[in-house]
Amino acid sequence: MNNQNKALAHVSKYAVTYLFIALSALFIVVSGLDINYVASQLLLRLNRNAFIVLALIIPIIAGMGINFAITIGAMAAQIALLLTINWGVTGAPGILLAAAITLPLAAFFGLLIGKLLNKMKGQETIGSLILGYFANGAYQLLFLFIFGTIIPLNDNVTIVGASGVQNTLNLTGKVGLYTAIDGIAHIPFLTALYIIAGALACAAVVQYLLKKISVKRLAVTLALSAVLAGVFSIPPIAAIFNGTHGRVIKLPLVTWMLILLLCLFNSTIMRTRLGQKFRAVGQSQTVANASGINVDRTRVIAIMISTVLAGWGQIVFMQSDGIGTFQTYAAHEQVGLYAGAAILVGGASIDRATNLQAMVGTFLFHSLFITAQSAASALFGDSAVGEYFRAFLSYGVIAVALIMYAWRSAQQRKAGQLNLAEQSR
């Protein structure tokens, strides 16, 4: 009985995730796309977007909902990239310079965002969304009317004969920022997988020997890594990746290391004092305040970290394989929407999120993204429907998550009131 209840609760909590798994499977089959193509695109998009999605976790834990204001972090990164291009710094140094400029810029923006969101507690999600729109106006003002006139820039980035920055900036060729991180080193997907499985197993054995985990845990971990390595060794599955059909699928090593580092950062910070503060503030601001935590300050720090990470995430995105151009006025627009939808698809909610959920969410969301158009033209004979379906999915997922969260908290409130009433009786 209890088990059944647990399973039900699990299913209802992850309903959206399961729905997306089913939809992705259906779409991949229906679209008729080559599986090698889908897998390579999926991994490409995963390393492009995972960083930004992971940037959403800390504000969620700190109880500030989905931080749609990460678009502002993206804008900071774009300002940094523009300056880098303007100064002609290329390759990895260029990326490092852009990241270095992004840090103070995004931290400052984060400070402002945090201060503003503190004035609208309980409405952070909508507040950060509209703040993102507002900032888009300021960004256009900066790029159209201030850069090139008040702040002089080189001719290669401005519109000749008018004020403002060009619509599209090329990152390839002489600019040399294209795949500046991705291109450093590549590793075949299967090799990476075996290394990870091996590392997992080794770590578990070491931890067991140090008596940090139980035998049961050890066995589970070992079995898991064995299955992971085993499944991908089955010839038909391995064939997708090892070049039997199409090209060998490779992962950009440095980018993935950055993503793993960020995951590590997210989980480590939660074990520090600051992380405890985030959690406490997220659970109850009143209790946190009573226990001597400066609630407002903690929230501002959470947003600042998120904004800086989002900025770096945008740099990772822009340099990534297959982008190549910098859409000056549009590159940041959908960042918040897609990242927010992705993390919610992974099973995160407005007040809970983990690294795994972010990664799974990005994976599922983008698997639909890749296949939606072809699937729609196969199903309805019109690829435009797929385009609209993607937009609907993005917004719909967020709407559903918001509704489920509001509904659950309403239920909890009601239950709390009933309890109180009973106690007083």
Partner 1 sequence: MSERLEGKGAAKRGNRFYLSIVLFVLAGILLIGAVAGYILRGSASTRANLDKMRDSAVLHAATEGLVENIAQTARAEKLKELRADKNFRKRGLDEVNSICDEAMSAARIEAEKLYSNPAVEDEAALESAIEGFEAVLATSGKLESAERAVYSDIYLELVEGISDWTAVAAEGADDDAVISALAETSPALKDEANAHLRPGFVKLARDMAAAQQARQDAELQEQLTTMMTGGIADWSEYAGLQGDALWEKLTAELPELAENERFKDALLEKAAEYVAAAESGEPLPEAQASEEGVEPVSETQVDYAYFAPSAELAKEQQDNEEAFQALDAQLVTIIPDLGSLTGKLQDTLRADIEKVIWPGSLDFTARYEAYMAQKADRVLSGGAANTLKLASKAEALLLGGIALLLLALVMLFWETLTARFGVPRTIITLFFIYLCLLAELYNISVRMMLGNVLERMTMYGVLVLAMMPGIQCGIGLNMGMTIGCISGLMGIVLSLQFNMTGFLAMLFACLSGALISLPLGWAYSKLLNRMKGNEMTISTYVGFSFVSLMCIGWMMLPFNNPKIIWLLSGHGLRVTHSLLGSFAHLLDNFLAFKVLGIKVPTGGLLFLGVCCGIMWLFSRSRTGIAMTAAGSNPRFAEASGINVNRMRTVGTVLSTMIAALGIVIYSQAFGYAQLYTAPRQLGFIASSAILIGGATVSKAKVSHVLIGVFLFEGVLVFGQQIANSVLSGGGLSEVMRIMISNGIILYALTQSGGGRRE
Q: Tokens 């300056």 belong to which residue? A: 83
What is the per-residue burial (b if ≥16 Cβ within 10 Å, else e) of 112-146?
Answer: bbbebbbeeeeebbebbbebbeebbeebeebbbee
Q: Are strands 325-327 and 250-252 parallel, antiparallel or unpaired?
A: unpaired
Question: Of the candidates 321, 334, 40, which has an alpha carbon nearest to the alpha carbon of residue 171?
Answer: 321
For partner 1, which stretch binds (CB under 8 A), given 51-59, 254-262, 304-312, 389-397? 389-397
**Residue 306: how many other CB atoms lie within 10 Å:** 29
List of residues 6+ apart from 175 with CB closer than 8 A: 85, 90, 169
- Residue with smaller CB distance to partner 1, 120 or 261: 120
Is 130 a residue that touches partner 1 (CB under 8 A)? Answer: yes
Residue (62 or 175) nearer to partner 1, CB: 62
- Site membership for partner 1, residue 87 (CB under 8 A): no
127 scored as a contact of partner 1 (CB under 8 A): yes
Stretch that binds partner 1, among 89-97, 178-186, 267-275, 386-394 (CB under 8 A): 386-394
Among residues 199, 230, 388, 416, the one that binds partner 1 under rule CB under 8 A: 388
Helix (H, G, I), strand (E, B) or coil at 72: helix
Question: What is the chain's Cα-based Rg?
Answer: 23
**Residue 64 interacts with partner 1 (CB under 8 A): yes or no:** no
Report if residue 169 touches partner 1, rule: CB under 8 A: no
> Could you tell me which stretch among 173-181, 186-194, 210-218, 392-400 binds partner 1 (CB under 8 A)?
392-400
Question: Number of residues in contact with partner 1, rule: CB under 8 A?
Answer: 42
Tokens of 25: 């499977």
Per-position b or e across 242-268, b if 16+ CB within 10 A of its CB: beeeeeebbbbebbbebbeebbebbee
The residue from 3, 119, 236, 292 that contacts partner 1 (CB under 8 A) is 119
Asked if 416 interacts with partner 1 (CB under 8 A), we say no
Q: Please, what is the minimum distance in Å from the beta carbon of residue 129 to partner 1?
A: 7
294 binds partner 1 (CB under 8 A): no
Interface with partner 1, residue 158, by CB under 8 A: no
Query: Is the CB of 141 or the CB of 219 nearer to partner 1?
Result: 141
Give yes or no for residue 137 binding partner 1 (CB under 8 A). Answer: yes
What gap in Å lies between CA 237 and CA 408, rounded to an integer?
Answer: 41
Provide the mask over 332-361, with x wherever binding to partner 1 is found by CB under 8 A and - wherever it is not: ------------------------------
- Does the footprint of partner 1 cover residue 151 (CB under 8 A)? no
- Beta carbons within 10 angstroms of residue 347's beta carbon: 24
| Cβ atoms of 350 and 61 closer than 8 Å | no
Per CB under 8 A, 377 contacts partner 1: no
Torsion angle (degrees, nearest 10) of CA 310, 316, 318, 321: -150
**C-alpha pair distances (Å), 17 with each of 52, 222, 325, 371:** 19, 26, 33, 17
What contacts 409, CB < 8 A, 6 or more positions away? none
Residue 421 found at the interface with partner 1 (CB under 8 A): no
**120 part of the interface to partner 1, by CB under 8 A:** yes
Q: Applying CB under 8 A, which part among 14-22, 87-95, 356-364, 383-391 lies near partner 1?
A: 383-391
- Residues that bind partner 1 in the complex, under the rule CB under 8 A: 116, 119-123, 125-127, 129-131, 133-134, 136-138, 140-141, 144-145, 162-164, 380, 382, 384-385, 388-389, 391-392, 394-396, 398-399, 402-403, 406-407, 410
